[in-house]
Amino acid sequence: MIRILPILLALAYGLAMYRFSAWRTARELDARSTVLADPALKDMSDRLARALDLPRIKVHIYEIEPVNGLAAPDGRIFITRGFYNKFHKGEVSAEELASVIAHELGHVALGHSRRRMIDFSGQNAIRTVLAMVLGRFIPFAGVWIANMLTTLLAARLSRSDEYEADAYAAALLTKAGIGVAPQISLFKKLEALTQSNSGSAPAWLLSHPKTEERVKALQMLQKRWNS
């Protein structure tokens, strides 16, 4: 029992930290968001809603400048003010922004937020066990190696979620009559929009897949559906 106590404590700590993080995120989103009320984007969200047999899909604007979309742990969908501003400037089309909403709907529908709670807790347990084992053989570097290996595991899980959400969005956009083309075109301009240099880092260190790999996966889906 004494030997597994550190693992149980790590799991409990991970669960507590996730719940605290979810609570803090919900408070932040409540304080800094409003319901999106734009006719052009409402038309797009209504098309997605009809494809899902839902009366409405409520989208919120999160009042921060970075270009992003997110699905909150409670299932709400957000796009940032920075993303919305890009739409108003004509840098992003309504169809492209609809692909972001569809992607975040994918995270909700596929249960990624709930699964990440389990992953987060499990990663803390893995980190603790690895640190204990490696620390015996590599006294000073063991903890660092344990943290690095756990980070790589988390990044791989996150990339898997992104591919799944991309595929869900592609299917939904196709059913809604919007198609996959806006999703692909947005990916091709995403790094410029976010001022990202992710292409210079190894793909396995990134929490999101490389853009060209995501585009290739979508093109393969499109080809399979059209054949």
Which pLDDT value is given to residue 190?
82
* pLDDT band, very low/low/confident/very high, at 96 (cuts 50, 70, 90): very high
- Residues 88, 69: Cα–Cα separation, whole Å: 16
In our burial notation (b when 16+ CB lie closer than 10 A, e otherwise), range 95-123 reads: bbbbbbbbbbbbbbebebbeebbebbbbb
Give pLDDT tens digits for 29-67: 888 899 998 998 999 999 999 999 999 999 999 999 888
Answer positive or negative: Cα dihedral of 176, 94, 63, 199.
positive
Q: Which of 9, 46, 29, 2 is nearest to 128 (CA)?
A: 9
- What local confidence, expressed as pLDDT, does residue 113 receive? 66
Residue written as token pair 């987060």: 120
Band (178; pLDDT cuts 50, 70, 90): very high
What pTM did the predictor assign?
Answer: 0.74
pLDDT at 201: 43
Closest by CA to 146, choosing from 126, 162, 118, 164, is: 126
Q: At what angle do helices 112-137 and 94-109 cross, to 10 degrees?
A: 70
Does residue 141 carry a pLDDT above 80? no
Identify the weakest region by mean pLDDT among 46-50, 52-56, 75-79, 153-157: 153-157
d(CA 28, CA 11): 26
Asked if residue 200 has pLDDT above 70, the reply is no
Question: Residue 165: in which H helix or E strand, if any?
Answer: helix 142-175
- Across the chain, which distance is largest between two alpha carbons, in Å? 62
Least confident interval from 108-122, 135-149, 160-174:
135-149
Mean pLDDT over each residue of the chain, to the nearest integer: 78
The DSSP code sequence of 172-222 is: HHHHTT--SHHHHHHHHHHHHHHT--GGGS-GGG-SS--HHHHHHHHHHHH
Q: What is the pLDDT of residue 129?
A: 57
Best CA proximity match to 211, nearest among 162, 152, 156, 145:
162
